[in-house]
């Protein structure tokens, strides 16, 4: 089973070329379940389908959940899936502070096992806010199900307090399991959208995928990869200012 996370960069820069590149990249990685961040609510700024629905239509995903932020309704989080989704929810449907409106969650079943997937986009401005958000998300997930995935744009690196907090509560960073993927996802050296900041910032791995599982039910991680680093269309345009993360997970 392939699970992926990808920040689409909700920015008008080269949008017509980038959406083509996004769709081509999504087709190329062929994830079974795909978590998306910075998803624009309406295509072309008009009332109608979201960018998530546009991508699903153009790439053949039969299941698409898009949830707009109530405090910023022009953008939201989404999950695309080839697997039927049993449940979807957002943290803002619950009694949490507005600053913690940062996550959505779905559940699905594969080979007799139930999976939960939580898709987050944490605050980019403040470490204190990110720490509060991570704590709120963890409490919201609670005990969860046998296999829980937590992924998205954490806006921080693996040396951060939020990373230490999560790994200290049984969340395993799949990029550190020795199967690949421990690469920058914000690449200030090679990504053309970020090169203007290359003298000020170092490449960082801000996009993570973490796994928590019941004791004794250890899934096999066959591969972790970073995608979106090159163009896969004739326009030679990268899909986003972020690279995505792809997890290959074998469940027996």
- CATH number for position 240: 3.60.10.10
Q: What is the mean pLDDT of residues 120-125?
A: 96
Q: Is pLDDT of 46 > 60?
A: no
Phi, psi of 176 (to 5 degrees): -105, 15
Q: What is the pLDDT of residue 195?
A: 84
Q: What is the mean pLDDT of residues 229-250?
A: 95
Query: Which of the four pLDDT bands, split at 50, 70 and 90, describes residue 81?
Result: very high
Q: Tell me which residue range forms the domain holding 115.
A: 2-250
Number of structural domains in the chain: 1
């Amino acid at each position: 089973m392939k699970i992926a996370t990808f920040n689409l960069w909700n920015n008008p820069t080269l949008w017509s070329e980038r959406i083509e590149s996004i769709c081509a990249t999504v087709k190329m990685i062929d994830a079974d379940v795909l978590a998306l961040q910075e998803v624009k609510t309406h295509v072309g700024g008009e009332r109608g389908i979201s960018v998530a629905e546009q991508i699903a239509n153009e790439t053949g995903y039969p299941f698409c959940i898009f949830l707009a932020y109530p405090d910023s309704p022009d953008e939201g989080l989404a999950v695309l899936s080839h697997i039927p989704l049993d449940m979807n929810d957002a943290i803002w449907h619950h009694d949490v502070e507005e600053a913690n409106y940062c996550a959505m969650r779905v559940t699905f079943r594969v080979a007799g096992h139930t999976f939960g997937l939580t898709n987050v986009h944490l605050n980019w401005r403040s470490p204190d806010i990110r720490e509060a958000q991570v704590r709120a998300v963890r409490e919201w997930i609670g005990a969860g199900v046998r296999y829980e995935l937590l992924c998205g744009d954490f806006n921080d690196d693996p040396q951060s307090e939020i990373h230490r907090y999560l790994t200290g509560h049984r969340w395993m960073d799949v990029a550190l399991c020795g199967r690949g993927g421990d690469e920058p996802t914000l690449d200030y050296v090679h990504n053309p959208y970020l090169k203007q900041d290359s003298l000020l910032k170092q490449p960082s791995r801000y996009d993570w995928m973490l796994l928590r599982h019941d004791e004794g039910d250890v899934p096999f991680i066959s591969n972790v990869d970073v995608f979106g680093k090159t163009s896969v269309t004739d326009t030679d345009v990268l899909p986003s200012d972020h690279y995505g993360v792809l997890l290959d997970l074998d469940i027996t």
